[in-house]
Amino acid sequence: MAWAQGGGQAGSAVPAGPGPQSWDSVFRLAARLRKLGQDGLDPAAYAVPPDAQGASEPAVFHTAVYQAANAALGDLVLGRLRQPSGRADILRDPSTDFTRWQAELVGLPEPATLIDRAANVPEGAAAIRSELAKAAGLVASGGWTTIPVGEGTLDPGMTDAARIPALRARLKAEDPVLAAARDGGALYDAPLEAAVRRWQAASGLEADGRVGAISLGLLNRPASSRVAQLRVALDMRRNALKPGEERRIEVNIPDYVLLVQEGDRVLMRMNVVVGKPARATPTLRARLTTVQFNPTWGVPERNAREDLLPRYRRDPAGMAAKGFRLYSVVGGERVEVDPATVDWSAVRTDRFPYLIRQDAGDENALGRIKFIMPNSDDIYLHDTPDRRLFGRPDRAFSSGCIRLGLPDDLLLLVMEGMGWDMARAQRVYDSKQTQSVGLRRPLPVRLHYTTVTTEGARVKMRPDIYGLDAAYAREMDRGGLRVATAGAAR
């Protein structure tokens, strides 16, 4: 069949005359566009015309297919969301020349192969697309079994005729090892326990085999939420600006991990504690400029009202013993107040009239060291006297700042070449005096929110603790049609 005349337009790749493509290749391109769901995009957003139109209105069909392909290719190469709302951690590469892709779309004998190639450009795309296909298949088959909410935690060795068969069915949907094991019925047997532990470890939970409220809540999330996370993971990676070789700090908030990297090389890895959902750690980019030994803590107003006021009501003398100082502002001057003289029962949460500062020392909430990276959210990295949380797999417990599992290791790394060693740092710690030291080489810091990571063919997913993936997916879907109906202008 002869090549249909197209109605190409400025900014889109629509052949206007005979080209190297066969007519069949245009149908194959349309068929590939209808499968964009496997790439995390909604085919309906691109107005792919039905094949029947190819016979009745060949010129309109041809133009519409290429308009759809041009729009889909743009989203695959540049990202469906060019700049997601509120995501300082995501930067697209401005140097990408999309016109080269458009030229290939017009010139290739088999343009559907270009869609395939673009879909696999992002790092880890093949593994994520494979996981997406499994998750989408689960959704198409009705999702997974919902586990009834019952009394108490499910522990290995228990029998529960309602919940344990449902738990087994739920995990079989994702775990081929359990699916191949003997069915233990209502007994929480060893194969089921092993499957629960595998699922908990993969979900960032304590892998203890006990299914309590937290595990149950995550298990009962709809399969569609998994699809949404994987769609977002693909889009986040599209045209992502790659870091250079400069040494940098990367904190993955939902994975609770800090890395120090140079290029792709990891110099340091440590567990961190991030903000609880009600006080979420923001995504941001900054530069680490200063290290402060023996920091004091100027307590933010929200922490003072919500966290410290109840403690003052219980034990004002104990708060003073922990180094907390109370101030009122009189005539523009700060005046220290003895907490024992305050009627704490009369102090209102919504009108907290005091400033609070905690002295440097062993009890200080920031520990012995604070890493300052100026930013509008006043977020920083710091030590902590409470080391218990770093052994937990779920570590969203702070008020927004990043608590470090290995603060001294980071100290020595960022002060490399400045004449500092642990003995010198210890002398400053022992002095109990606050001391700030500027870094000779400030380091870029990125706090990012990446729930899906890949290692080869393995995909690791973490819970969407702040709901940012869900918000991103909604924004992707709100984008609507990328092209108008066939034959109309975009």
Distances (CA, A) of 191 to 62, 64, 199: 55, 53, 12
* pLDDT higher than 80, residue 122: yes
Tokens representing 316 are 């004002």
- What does the pLDDT read at residue 445? 98
* pLDDT higher than 50, residue 486: no
- Give residue-wise pLDDT tens across range 205-234: 888 999 988 888 889 989 999 999 999 999
- What does the pLDDT read at residue 10? 40
* pLDDT higher than 70, residue 289: yes
Q: Is 163 exposed, middle or buried (0-12, 13-18, 19+ CB in 10 A)?
A: buried
| Residue 406 burial (CB count, 10 A) | 17
Maximum Cα–Cα distance across the chain: 93
Q: Where are the domains of the chain?
A: 144-221, 247-297+361-448, 302-355
- Give residue-wise pLDDT tens across range 335-376: 999 999 999 999 998 889 999 999 999 999 999 999 999 999
Residue 293 pLDDT level (bands cut at 50, 70, 90): very high
The amino acid sitting at 142 is G
Active-site hit among 114, 396, 401, 452 = 401
* pLDDT higher than 80, residue 8: no
Supply the mean pLDDT for the chain.
91
Angle 143-148-150 from CA coordinates, rounded to 5°: 160
Calculate mean pLDDT across residues 384-393: 91
Give the integer Cα–Cα distance in Å for 274 and 389: 11
- What does the pLDDT read at residue 202? 81
Beta bridge partners of 257: 252, 271
Which DSSP string do the residues of 144-179 spell out, in sequence order?
-PPPPP-SS-B-TT-B-TTHHHHHHHHHHTT-HHHH
Q: What percent of the chain has pLDDT over 90?
A: 79
Run of H or E residues at 289: strand 284-293
CATH class of 247-297+361-448: mainly beta
- What does the pLDDT read at residue 452? 95
> Which of 455, 410, 470, 445 shows the shortest CA–CA distance to 252?
445
- What does the pLDDT read at residue 9? 38
Helical residues (DSSP H) of 323-467, grouped into ranges: 407-414, 422-431
449 compared with 4, residue with greater pLDDT: 449
Beta bridge partners of 261: 248, 266
> Which of 240, 271, 275, 291 shows the shortest CA–CA distance to 443?
291
- What does the pLDDT read at residue 382? 98
- Give residue-wise pLDDT tens across range 302-323: 999 999 999 999 999 999 999 9
- Give residue-wise pLDDT tens across range 41-87: 999 999 999 999 988 999 999 999 999 999 999 999 999 999 998 99
Q: Which of 102-106, 133-137, 196-200, 248-252 is predicted most confidently?
A: 248-252
Give the integer Cα–Cα distance in Å for 309 and 348: 9
- What does the pLDDT read at residue 191? 94
* pLDDT higher than 70, residue 427: yes
- Give residue-wise pLDDT tens across range 137-172: 999 988 888 999 888 899 999 999 999 999 999 999
Q: Is 162 known to be catalytic? A: no
* pLDDT higher than 70, residue 393: yes
Give 178-234 as a 3 state SS string: HHHCCCCCCECCHHHHHHHHHHHHHCCCCCCCCECHHHHHHHCCCHHHHHHHHHHHH
- CATH superfamily of the domain spanning 144-221: PGBD-like superfamily/PGBD (1.10.101.10)
Residue ranges with strand state E in 312-468: 324-330, 333-337, 355-358, 369-372, 381-382, 396-398, 402-404, 435-448, 452-455, 458-461
* pLDDT higher than 50, residue 3: no
Calculate mean pLDDT across residues 184-200: 93
Distances (CA, A) of 138 to 8, 132, 135, 165, 198: 40, 10, 5, 18, 19
Active-site hit among 382, 395, 403, 448 = 382
Q: Is 448 known to be catalytic? A: no
Calculate mean pLDDT across residues 187-203: 92
- Give residue-wise pLDDT tens across range 249-284: 999 999 999 999 999 999 999 999 999 999 999 999
